[in-house]
Amino acid sequence: MGSMGKVLGVGLVVGCAVAMCVVAGTMVGKRVKSRRRWTKVVKVLEEFEEGCATPVEKLRQVVDAMAVEMHAGLASEGGSKLKMLLTFVQNLPNGSEKGVYYGLDLGGTNFRVLRVQLGGQRSAILEPGVERQPIPEHLMTSTSEELFDFIAASLQKFVEKEGNGSVALEGKLRELGFTFSFPMKQASVSSGILIKWTKGFSIHDTVGKDVSECLNQALERRGLDMRVAVLINDTVGTLALGHYHDEDTVAAVIIGTGTNACYLERSDDIIKCQGLLTTSGAMVVNMEWGNFWSSHLPRTSYDIELDSESPNPNDQGFEKMISGMYLGDIVRRVILKMSQESDVFGLSFSKLLTPFILRSPLIAAMHEDDSPDLREVARILGEILEIGDVPLKVRKLVVKVCDVVTRRAARLAAAGIVGILKKMGRDGSGSTASGKVKGGSHTKMRRTVVAIEGALYTSYTLFREYLNDAIADILGEDISSHVVLKVMEDGSGMGAAVLAAAYSSSGQDTL
């Protein structure tokens, strides 16, 4: 090789080395950038997790705040964000009810019609026929007449499908328990005025109207031989069915599309209705705990944005941190923030801008994905959010976000339940009416059953486990072993029918 060749050769080598350095430099640069982006995303997660923290001391503050607000809501009308609504249900079913009754359940994602035949012996709910259907979305924002006509038509179809055995007795109307799961001001067990809509319903001309009358009129328009015997909240239905099966049941909780609780209160403690005469000395109070608020609640910027962009800002604050309608949207907002801070979700994430695109069953499916490569997470990100090729470590991040949101929700709901026990003196803390009964030489805790319904608790295992664990964390193993959370399947609708039975022949107290 001549000198020229050597020079060329050396030049080539040097050139290659420079090029390699440039490539390597770019790669290092890219890696540094990508590490920086990853750090940013992790920071979003860490801050969110910190904001959602629910150590047991915090939960105890929420318990106390719940009990304090319950007192305030019972003391005066408007005394608290907790409405503590009277239900006029003073006697809960005890298993001796007899006859055929109907239940109608409106309030969540689905609408249910059912029929029960009661044989007069507990557990003898015979031939329950249940029909479920999703509520057509347009009806949620239509007119009162359209909504109630739809309900009456569904009832009519249901009744027409039944055999001859169910024909109403001559001159006697069939009795219906109507579960209407929105806040109502009641003056009797069979009527109630809608205070406001929640859970995405918004039909202006129903607010201020008597809901029973709306339905009775729609039934009449169709010539249906039925009337509303009791009008109740879904929590009350769940409590009624719980008590029908087990008389230690004193409270009920719903954690589904929305969330709420009710419990049996002593009439004397309902100060805002002094002189309230009840035959049993007690009345079921619908707390409307979805609207509970306390400065102790762990609230993040995502919750604040969700609330301000909702159709009911400053309303239902507790519900917006707990219930199925909102969990997915908190997750969506956190993932959206991550994708805006970096490109870990790629560059096209426009679907993430769609409110409520992630429903809670999807959150549960991602959270509970136990495949090693998180296949379900990848599928949902791809099919629902149209984000493909998400690396495993980013999928893990998504699971973690679901975990943080769900854990906070479940633990706050647990604190709410313990708050009720505290108000009822059944949390083992006091000495007098503290739920302790004398048993031989030492006092022992009274068994307390809380009926529970709603898909978050019944169908989302991790949610249920977090909630149960939190109750034990707050109360301690010893006390919590006396508290039983019992799932009441179809409790809200079935309970309405059973209550219709309990109230069909007895007189109804009114204010």
**Which backbone phi and psi does 492 adopt, to 5 degrees?**
-65, -40
In 424-484, which residue ranges form alpha helices assigned H by DSSP? 455-459, 461-475, 477-480
Catalytic residue among 80, 144, 174, 181: 181
Structure tokens at 389: 């090729």
CB of 259 to ligand BGC, least distance (A): 6
Q: Is residue 431 annotated as a catalytic residue, yes or no? A: no
Which of 54, 91, 216, 233 is close enough to bind ligand BGC by CB under 6 A? Answer: 233
Is the Cβ of residue 155 or residue 252 nearer to ligand BGC in the bound state?
252
Catalytic residue among 80, 105, 112, 323: 112
Burial class from Cβ neighbours inside 10 Å (0-12, 13-18, 19+) for residue 500 reads buried
Catalytic residue among 149, 210, 234, 427: 234
| Total interface residues for ligand BGC by CB under 6 A | 18
**Is 181 a binder of ligand BGC (CB under 6 A)?**
yes
Residue 261's nearest CA partner among 229, 227, 244, 236 is: 236
**Is 108 a binder of ligand BGC (CB under 6 A)?**
yes
What is the SS3 assignment for 485?
strand
**Is 234 a binder of ligand BGC (CB under 6 A)?**
yes
Tell me how far apart the alpha carbons of residues 192 and 273 are, in angstroms, rounded to a whole number.
17
Tell me how far apart the alpha carbons of residues 446 and 428 are, in angstroms, rounded to a whole number.
9
Which of 186, 235, 278, 406 is close enough to bind ligand BGC by CB under 6 A? Answer: 235
Q: Give just the sign of the alpha carbon dihedral 197, 201, 204, 208.
A: negative
With contacts defined by CB under 6 A, name the span among 92-100, 128-136, 232-240, 480-488 that binds ligand BGC.
232-240
With contacts defined by CB under 6 A, name the span among 21-29, 165-173, 209-217, 257-265 that binds ligand BGC.
257-265
What is the separation of C-alpha 460 from the centre of its chain, rounded to a whole number of angstroms? 12
**Is 290 a binder of ligand BGC (CB under 6 A)?**
yes
CB of 61 to ligand BGC, least distance (A): 24
Q: Give just the sign of the alpha carbon dihedral 141, 361, 493, 289.
A: negative
Q: Is residue 112 annotated as a catalytic residue, yes or no? A: yes
With contacts defined by CB under 6 A, name the span among 177-185, 359-367, 382-390, 391-399 that binds ligand BGC.
177-185
In 222-316, which residue ranges form alpha helices assigned H by DSSP? 234-245, 301-308
CB of 296 to ligand BGC, least distance (A): 21
Determine contact, residues 410/371, Cβ cutoff 8 Å: no
DSSP per position, 152-213: HHHHHHHHHHS-GGGPPPTT-PEEEEEEE-S-EEEEETTEEEE----TT---GGGTTSBHHH
Which of 199, 395, 408, 426 is close enough to bind ligand BGC by CB under 6 A? Answer: 199
With contacts defined by CB under 6 A, name the span among 32-40, 150-158, 255-263, 402-410 that binds ligand BGC.
255-263
Query: Helix (H) and strand (E) counts for the chain?
Result: 15, 15
What is the SS3 assignment for 363?
helix
Which of 107, 298, 328, 416 is close enough to bind ligand BGC by CB under 6 A? Answer: 107
Which of 183, 416, 491, 493 is close enough to bind ligand BGC by CB under 6 A? Answer: 183
Is the Cβ of residue 80 or residue 235 nearer to ligand BGC in the bound state?
235
Q: Between residue 370 and residue 389, which ones bind ligand BGC under the rule CB under 6 A?
A: none
With contacts defined by CB under 6 A, name the span among 48-56, 145-153, 258-266, 457-465 that binds ligand BGC.
258-266
Residue nearest ligand BGC, CB atom distance: 258
CB of 217 to ligand BGC, least distance (A): 22
CB of 46 to ligand BGC, least distance (A): 32
With contacts defined by CB under 6 A, name the span among 20-28, 139-147, 251-259, 277-285 that binds ligand BGC.
251-259
Which of 95, 237, 258, 298 is close enough to bind ligand BGC by CB under 6 A? Answer: 258
Which of 214, 219, 254, 358 is close enough to bind ligand BGC by CB under 6 A? Answer: 254
CB burial string 187-225: b at 16+ within 10 A, e below: eebbbbbbebbbbbbebeebeeebbbebbbebbeeeebe
**Is 307 a binder of ligand BGC (CB under 6 A)?**
no
The neighbouring-strand residues paired with 134 are 110
Which residues are within 8 A (CB) of 62 and not within 5 positions of it... i.e. 6 or more apart? 294, 296, 297, 412, 415, 416, 419
**Is 319 a binder of ligand BGC (CB under 6 A)?**
yes
Is the Cβ of residue 48 or residue 289 nearer to ligand BGC in the bound state?
289
Q: C-alpha distances in angstroms, 254 versus 196, 238, 318, 324, 353?
A: 18, 8, 13, 11, 29
Q: Is residue 408 annotated as a catalytic residue, yes or no? A: no
Structure tokens at 91: 């006697």
Catalytic center residues = 112, 181, 234
Q: Which residues bind ligand BGC (CB under 6 A)?
A: 107-108, 181-183, 198-199, 233-235, 254, 256, 258-260, 288, 290, 319
